[in-house]
Structure 1
Amino acid sequence: MKNSWRNAFLLLLTLLASALRAAAQTADTPEMADTLRQNGKIYVVVAVILIVVIGLIGYLISLDRKVSRLEKEIR
């Protein structure tokens, strides 16, 4: 169980690091991002992405718990 939390954390850390690296490498910002930022809608986009990622992580953790419980029952 402890190993699965570690794997989920490492996966999240890897995804965040790659996203930050990609954001840092863009020299000029796209026009769409400027428009979303000016209208304040960029926060809605970020919030939706965070909700989706948190939901996926929660689903994976619950799925891991169910599989672990079934493995214990089989033994």
Structure 2
Amino acid sequence: MKYAIYREDQEEYENYGTIEYDDDQGAWVVWIKELGDGITYCATLKETEKYLSEELHGREKLIQQHLI
């Protein structure tokens, strides 16, 4: 799955990074484009989305896009 950040004031999509489930860790890993590194979050996608939203301070919205 791929995430983008939507900033209402700019009315455009900005690529934030990707999110993948890691079977070995049993958790979702977020690969943030600006960092070039992965950060391990929670076992559930819903919890991971919650933490990401909090980190973005609620100013932006995460929009989930499926990679083909």
1 or 2 for the larger relative contact order (CA 8 Å, sep ≥6)? Answer: 1
TM-score (norm 2): 0.30
Larger Rg: 1
TM-score (norm 1): 0.28
Question: Between Structure 1 and Structure 2, which shows a larger proportion of strand residues?
Answer: 2
